Amino acid sequence: MPSLPPQAIQALEQGQKIEAIKILRHLENCDLKTAKDRIDAYMAEHPELERQPIRNQELGWLAIGFLVVAVVMVILLH
């Protein structure tokens, strides 16, 4: 199977599978099924891409959650 464009690979490395499919469709003018099948095949050959990194936005929500818990605990302890 031919390799993917570097932009699609970069999106996969960032955990953005849907973005990789969009990039592939745009660059190679292929339909959704073809693009998805190529991305899935590439990921099957590169299992290290299955582990998606936590995005900054998700880290932000996690930090807000911890902050809320901390504030509630302070209120309850006083």
CA distances from 70 to 4, 34, 59, 73 (A): 46, 48, 16, 5
Record the tokens describing residue 17, joined without a space.
Answer: 């599978």
Judge whether 21 and 32 are in contact, CB under 8 Å. yes
Q: For 49-74, what is the mean pLDDT?
A: 80
- The pLDDT, as a whole number, for residue 41 is 95
* pLDDT tens profile 14-59: 889 999 999 999 999 999 999 999 999 999 999 888 765 556 667 7
Read off the pLDDT band of 60 (50, 70, 90).
Answer: confident
Judge whether 25 and 4 are in contact, CB under 8 Å. no
- The pLDDT, as a whole number, for residue 2 is 63
pTM for the whole structure: 0.64
